[in-house]
Structure 1
Amino acid sequence: MLNVFSLVSGRLVQEEIADPATLALAHPVWVDLEAPTAAEKGWISGRFGLTIPSDAVDDDLEESARFYEEDNGELHIRSDFLIEGDGVPGAKPSRNVRVAFILQQNVLFSIHAEDLPVFRLLRLRARRTPALIEDAKDVLLKLFDADAEYSADALEGIYDSLEAVSARVLRHEVDDATAGEVLTAIAREEDLNGRIRRNVMDTRRALSFMMRSRRLNAEQFEEARQILRDIDSLDSHTAFLFDKINFLMDATVGFININQNKIIKIFSVASVALLPPTLIASVYGMNFKHMPELDWSFGYPFALLLMLASVATPYIYFRRKGWLR
């Protein structure tokens, strides 16, 4: 899908391009390519003279190939953007999507494999707020700003989810089924928290590269510094969430160990309680020539009562000690 965005009265106006003739008449400030076809890449090459690399959105690029400037002045930036999952079984999980940016002659080209919430947020704001964007560099900065805000919203969602998990772990008895659900929820939030941290780190690197490129004016440079400060404030939140996740993980695993110890305790008590009657039964089961029960008709009933008494004695002792609670 190929969309171009032009500035009209200080607002971004979106137009979906279906043929090269329409593209030739456009004067965009931002060209967005979502999963572009070979034909759409050819239209871009014919209209702007830009060749989009085949590995533009590959995840295995070397670090040196993610931020660089061509001899002709093209600025290339590869950055990851977060998509938060729904947390519903069967739905797509949280993930980072690679986006390739190319800044050429005051036109920003963005290439990505799927639609991103940050892009939708910027399009909505740019349509409603006049004078929000003045050139292509403003588009890129606003995207990074929206990305930092989206990451902050995702962190707030993690806070809310962990509060619900804490209520289940710390205020209720945790059985094995509950522990399994809690561990699943904790693992999901830990994965999202890690992706947020990676995402803000990548955004910080992209902003630092833009500031070093000396392409930004004074106002844009200050805006980039403000975004970096916002990103720095998110680091402490991600670190706190990692600590909280580890605490809840340890607490849940501790409850699982307690439940397992209860089962082991039952077997331990049972084995100790059954040891004396087993010994008595083994003694009375020996076929000696002279046995007391041969001359005593109550020998076997006495043996059975002795076995029951041997079971009851350790049971009463364990119960008084509180080991059966």
Structure 2
Amino acid sequence: MLTLYDVAGNGLATSKDVNAITAATIWIDLLNPTPEEDAAVEQALGISVPTRAEMREIEASNRLYIENAAVYMTAYVIYAIEQAVPAASSITFIIADNRLVTVRYAEPKAFPIFLARAEKGHAPCASGPDIMVGLIESLIHRQADLIERIQDDVDRLAPSVFVIKGGQQTRGRRLDVALRTIGKEGDIIARVQESAFSIDRVLAFFASAMRERGGDSKISKRIKSAQRDISSLLDNMRFLSTRLEFLLEATLGMINIEQNQIIKLFSVAAVVFLPPTLIASIYGMNFKHMPELDWPWGYPLAIGLMVLAAVLPYVYFRRKGWL
């Protein structure tokens, strides 16, 4: 789908007719574009629109470059942050003259958020670079919201690891859930970090291109502000990653303690029942000359010895604090 945005006062006017590209058109948004729409934009602006496969290239030279005086910047973006596991996609920003062309195969909520701000006159949209900075600012704000959600999840996760309550079976289930949650949150943090680094590289390349083109100083200041925001998000994510690593190690340690407790119980049971088994084995031998067999109190004495042999190790272990 192709959408054109023209300057209209302090806001933007929308059109979906590719033939309506005029000097007032400053933003062309290609969402899941067809080959015909790509070709129409290429012919109208004299640029090359990257394909979906080209947008997935990971080399910096394929994501950030200048071709025919147009600046190409592709960012890896996290979106749908309201879902349990957010989605990710690549978005290409193309600055051609004073226009912005966006190529995307996803619908991040940051785009309608920016458009809503532009309609209210709260977002500068007099040029393509203005719109690109505004879109990146919205993407950064959405990432910040996701990081805040992850931080809340981690805060709720910590007590489930360290607070000891419930029986053995309940604690085991709780630690299993905690381990799975830590893995999920760690994967999300890793993807958000990848997205933040990608946006940071885009901003650095964008700032360099604006300096070479003699761009507006106000846009340069906004780019620097966005870079500071990304830097603070990266610092926060490094802290969250460290905290998740600590919780992972603590969870694995608690699981090991639970497993050691089970093994210890089996070991104590073996030690407790070993002496009675020895006594029973001795008196179970079929020798003719065993004087205890003729004793009137031989049987009660054997039973008493077995009980005593079982109780003494148990008492000893209790006094040592091993049980």
Shared fold per TM-score greater than 0.5 = yes
Structure-2 change in CA distance of 1:57 and 1:164 (3 Å): farther
Segment of structure 1 superposing worse, 291-300 or 24-33: 291-300
Q: Is 1:97 the counterpart of 2:94 in the alignment? A: no
In the alignment, the residues of structure 2 paired with residue 223 and residue 81 of structure 1 have an alpha-carbon distance, to the nearest angstrom, of: 19
Structure-2 change in CA distance of 1:272 and 1:126 (3 Å): same
In the alignment, the residues of structure 1 paired with residue 53 and residue 121 of structure 2 have an alpha-carbon distance, to the nearest angstrom, of: 31
Structure-2 change in CA distance of 1:306 and 1:84 (3 Å): farther
The residue matched to 1:175 in structure 2 has which SS?
helix
Deviation readout 1:90-149 (Å, 9 max, x if unpaired): xxx224311112222322111111111222221221112256211001111112222222
The partner residue of 1:177 within 162, 173, 177 is 173
The partner residue of 1:24 within 19, 33, 45 is 19
Instruction: After TM superposition, list the pairs within 5 Å mapping 1:189-228 onto structure 2.
Output: 189-213=185-209, 214-215=212-213, 216-228=215-227
Paired residues of 1:169 and 1:252 also in contact (CA < 8 A): yes
Q: Is 1:51 the counterpart of 2:43 in the alignment? A: no
The residue matched to 1:201 in structure 2 has which SS?
helix
Structure-2 change in CA distance of 1:13 and 1:68 (3 Å): same
In the alignment, the residues of structure 1 paired with residue 83 and residue 281 of structure 2 have an alpha-carbon distance, to the nearest angstrom, of: 60
Partner of 2:139: 147
Paired residues of 1:276 and 1:307 also in contact (CA < 8 A): yes
Paired residues of 1:57 and 1:78 also in contact (CA < 8 A): no
Partner of 1:106: 98
Segment of structure 1 superposing worse, 130-139 or 294-303: 294-303
Displacement, 1:272?
A: 0.5
Structure 1 unaligned blocks of 5 or more: none
Amino acid aligned to 1:319? R
In the alignment, the residues of structure 2 paired with residue 131 and residue 271 of structure 1 have an alpha-carbon distance, to the nearest angstrom, of: 75
Partner of 1:40: 37
Instruction: After TM superposition, list the pairs within 5 Å mapping 1:1-325 onto structure 2.
Output: 1-15=1-15, 17=16, 22-27=17-22, 28-55=25-52, 58-70=55-67, 72-86=68-82, 88=84, 93-129=85-121, 132-173=124-165, 175-213=171-209, 214-215=212-213, 216-324=215-323
Paired residues of 2:57 and 2:63 also in contact (CA < 8 A): no
Displacement, 1:196?
A: 2.1
The residue matched to 1:111 in structure 2 has which SS?
strand
The residue matched to 2:7 in structure 1 has which SS?
strand
Structure 2 unaligned blocks of 5 or more: none
| CA RMSD, Structure 1 to Structure 2 (Å) | 2.1
Segment of structure 1 superposing worse, 59-68 or 157-166: 59-68
Structure-2 change in CA distance of 1:300 and 1:80 (3 Å): same
In the alignment, the residues of structure 2 paired with residue 32 and residue 227 of structure 1 have an alpha-carbon distance, to the nearest angstrom, of: 22
Structure-2 change in CA distance of 1:293 and 1:14 (3 Å): farther
Paired residues of 2:6 and 2:14 also in contact (CA < 8 A): yes
Paired residues of 1:80 and 1:97 also in contact (CA < 8 A): yes
* TM-score, length of structure 1 as denominator length: 0.89
Segment of structure 1 superposing worse, 214-223 or 51-60: 51-60
In the alignment, the residues of structure 2 paired with residue 202 and residue 293 of structure 1 have an alpha-carbon distance, to the nearest angstrom, of: 86
* TM-score, length of structure 2 as denominator length: 0.89
Paired residues of 1:80 and 1:202 also in contact (CA < 8 A): yes
In the alignment, the residues of structure 2 paired with residue 276 and residue 254 of structure 1 have an alpha-carbon distance, to the nearest angstrom, of: 34
Paired residues of 1:57 and 1:98 also in contact (CA < 8 A): no
Paired residues of 1:56 and 1:100 also in contact (CA < 8 A): no
